[in-house]
Structure 1
Amino acid sequence: MRADRLVSLVLLLRQRGQLTADTLARELEISTRTVLRDIEALSAAGIPVYAERGRHGGFALLPGFRTELTGLNHDEALALLTAGSGRGEQVLGLGSALASAVRKVVDALPDTHQATASDATRRFLFQPQTDLLSRRLVTEEVPDATMRAVRDAVLAGHKLRLHYASRGHPARWSIVDPIGLVAVRDRRYLLATQSGQDRTYRLSRMLAAEDLREPAQRSDQVDLEQVWKERCARFLSDAHITVSVRVNPTRRDDLLKTAVAVRAEEVDTDGWLRLEVTYQDLWHAEWALWQFSTDAEALAPQALRTALHNRAAATANRYANST
């Protein structure tokens, strides 16, 4: 266990540069005192780890230090094999590369691990094509050439020329500075800026893309998770409506699948759930809640209640004299 931890410590320093003892302890899930002992052990073994004193100090490896650190343990190999199984290989167009990497991992495993790891991955199924209700999961298709151009521009830090068709508008060309790629379930997005303004593009709506081989205007450092959270918050606040709704608890999950986001949830006095959910617009909310018949009730806004009432009245009138 300690050998694995020492290898992980060296890899962290090699990949991320100078790190504090607290950061290393958090990443390795050990105490700060254990980190200091491990640093001493590495130094004694000839690994050139040095300490930088002061407020912004920490530990780092000497510049240019390289070493071959081989030997995956069983759980590490299993994690890689599982990630490469099923639909996980479709993420961001890296399926063939991931499959090749997995083959190399399997080949590098000791004989004693190969059989058990391969058997274990056969007992894990990652995102199958259908769920228990036999509903087929639809994956957004992105042409290989488009995906490759976008991915190359993101990694190289190049400007990207896009032919993009946003919903309700004709396709047009634009030049953007890519920040990063985000995969959410079966949807993939490009986060970028255009003339300094934040832009988020859905890859399935890209008709073509071209890596311009020209340096993009972007920061060398990025916290993509934080950027994505900020974009999501802004998206939910623009041109969306918040709906207060009561729902039978047995239909809660079905309701959440129709909403853009959930803002609040509590149990009502009769056991039903009272939620505040966000929809794209009034029509989206009306369409979604109509699917639930009497298993859900829109409480607000009034315009939604009126729309549902009118739809129900028209439906009742249609079938009133049915023979």
Structure 2
Amino acid sequence: MRADRLVSLVLLLRQHGRLSATALARELEVSTRTVLRDIEALSAAGVPVYAERGRHGGFALLPGFRTELTGLNHDEALALLVAGSRRGAQAFGLGSALASAMLKVVDALPESYRHTAAGAAERLLIDPETDLLSRRLIDEEVPDDVVAEVLRAVFAGHKLRIHYAAAGQSPQWRTVDPIGLVTVRDRGYLLATRSGADRTYRLSRILAAEELPEPAQRPDRVDLDRAWQERSTRFRTGGDQVAALVRLNPVRREDLVGTALAVLAEETDPDGWLRLEVTFQDSRHAEWALWQLGTSAEALAPQWLRDSLRDRATAIATRYGAPSRPSP
């Protein structure tokens, strides 16, 4: 880990010219004391790094110095392969590897291309932390040691022991045969089998993990895309799901479709409104999704859903129909 960090430090200085210890610590996600120790180690190894004093000082390399340490390690190459976006790498615990890999890629570019590439990168923003309504996107936290064990078991083809907290249940230890990893909307999932039955585990609910030496029982080749589609279909058509018939203003179609589990049927009424048969995860999900659409949607069936939305609207109207209470 320290060798990779030293290489990243050198590449940062090459690309930025001069950086303070605070800026280096922020980029490398370490303390300033660690940065100072790394600078001493580089100097002792013959790397011409020097300190510039003063208000705008920092550390820099002697002009013309170039390193050949641009080869990607395993995690960095993997990060580039799976990181179609920055969040793709974060979901599998490869965020720091991606940052290190990108430094090496930029450093390996010919001088004539480097500034052009840097300028182009400044004109692209992928998956910002908030959307246009300033709603912050919530990343699921997965401990690094858990991700590392899961990755090792998946790539080595070994069994995996996980301490898993399923929704509404106490955490339990389970031994599974891992198949692969999937990330969807910033959530990471482990596809596995347990006693021969398909299982899907959310990474954020794995509290601890241990790679076992026994080989996993899994096919030599797996079509992850097909496996995910099959499990998604089973999820949408099982459990305590609710089917509803909804009349909808077409301008809000994407809002409903993006929330519902599935659209089973769709047709257009003579007035241009849509009539859709959709499924929701449960009754609370159905009521919440249609309430968000306001007067742009009407639940036609089942009757209990109409009654629930009517009662909620009546309660809101009653609350706001009364005079507001003055502050005490």
TM-score, normalised with respect to structure 1: 0.69
Alpha carbons 1:82, 1:124 under 8 Å: kept: no
Distance 2:321 2:97 in 1: 61
- 2:189 matched to 1:189? yes
Residue 308 of structure 2 is matched in structure 1 by 307
Tell me how far apart the structure 1 counterparts of residues 126 and 82 of structure 2 sit (CA, whole Å).
8
Cα distance in 2, alignment partners of residues 152 and 81 from structure 1: 17
Runs of 4+ in structure 1 off by over 6 angstroms are: none
State how 1:240-255 maps to structure 2 within 5 Å.
240-255=241-256
CA drift of 1:232 comes to 0.3
Structure 1 unaligned spans of 5+: 1-79
- Aligned residue number for residue 119 of structure 2: 119
**Within 1, Cα distance between the matches of 2:126 and 2:150?**
26
Contact 2:246-2:276 within 8 A present in 1 as well: yes
Answer with 285-294 or 127-136: which moved more.
285-294
Q: 1:119 to 1:148 in 2, by over 3 A?
A: same
* TM-superposed deviation, 1:292: 2.4
Distance change >3 Å, CA 149–CA 126, structure 1 → 2: same
Structure 2 gap segments, 5+ residues each: 1-79
- Per-residue CA deviations over 1:256-278 (Å, capped at 9, x if unaligned) read 34323334444332222322322
Supply the AA of the counterpart residue of 1:183.
T
List per-residue Cα deviations over 1:146-190 (Å, max 9, x = no partner): 111111111111111111111111111111000000000111100
Q: Secondary structure at the match of 1:99?
A: helix
Q: Give the structure 2 partner of residue 172 of structure 1.
A: 172
Give the superposition deviation at 1:145. Answer: 0.7
- Structure 1 residues 264 and 115: alpha-carbon distance in aligned structure 2, compared to 1, 3 A threshold: farther
1:109 to 1:263, Cα distance in 2 relative to 1, 3 A? farther
Corresponding letter in the other structure for 1:160: L
1:75-109 deviations in Å (ceiling 9; x for gaps): xxxxx699577545413111122222222222222
CA offset at residue 306 of structure 1?
A: 2.7
Return the alpha-carbon distance in structure 2 between the equivalents of residues 194 and 151 of structure 1. Answer: 18
Name the residue aligned to 2:94: 94
RMSD: 2.4
CA distance 1:210–1:199, shift in 2 (3 Å): same
2:272 match: 271
Q: Which residue number corresponds to residue 230 of structure 1?
A: 230
Equivalenced residues, count: 244
- C-alpha distance in structure 2 between counterparts of 1:92 and 1:268, whole Å: 45
**Equivalent AA in structure 1 for residue 257 of structure 2:** L
Q: For residues 82 and 213 of structure 2, what CA distance do their matches in structure 1 show?
A: 35
Pair 1:289–1:236, CA change in 2 (3 A): same
Q: Deviations over 1:219-263 (max 9, x none)?
A: 111000000000000000112222221222333333334323334
Give the whole-Å Cα distance in 2 for the aligned partners of 1:176 and 1:189: 14
Counterpart CA distance in 2 for 1:185 and 1:206 is 18
- C-alpha distance in 2 between matches for 1:306 and 1:272: 22
Task: Give the whole-Å Cα distance in 2 for the aligned partners of 1:92 and 1:310.
Answer: 44
Is the deviation greater in 180-189 or in 243-252?
Answer: 243-252
Name the SS for the 1:221 alignment partner.
coil
Structure 1 residues 265, 120: closer, same or farther in 2, change over 3 A? farther
Give, in angstroms, the shift of residue 289 of structure 1: 1.2
Q: For residue 59 of structure 2, what is the aligned residue in structure 1?
A: none
Q: Percent identity?
A: 63
Q: Which amino acid aligns with 1:106?
A: V
User: Are the counterparts in 2 of residues 259 and 279 from structure 1 also a CA contact under 8 Å?
Assistant: yes
- Paired residue for 2:216? 216
**Secondary structure of the corresponding residue to residue 271 of structure 1:** coil
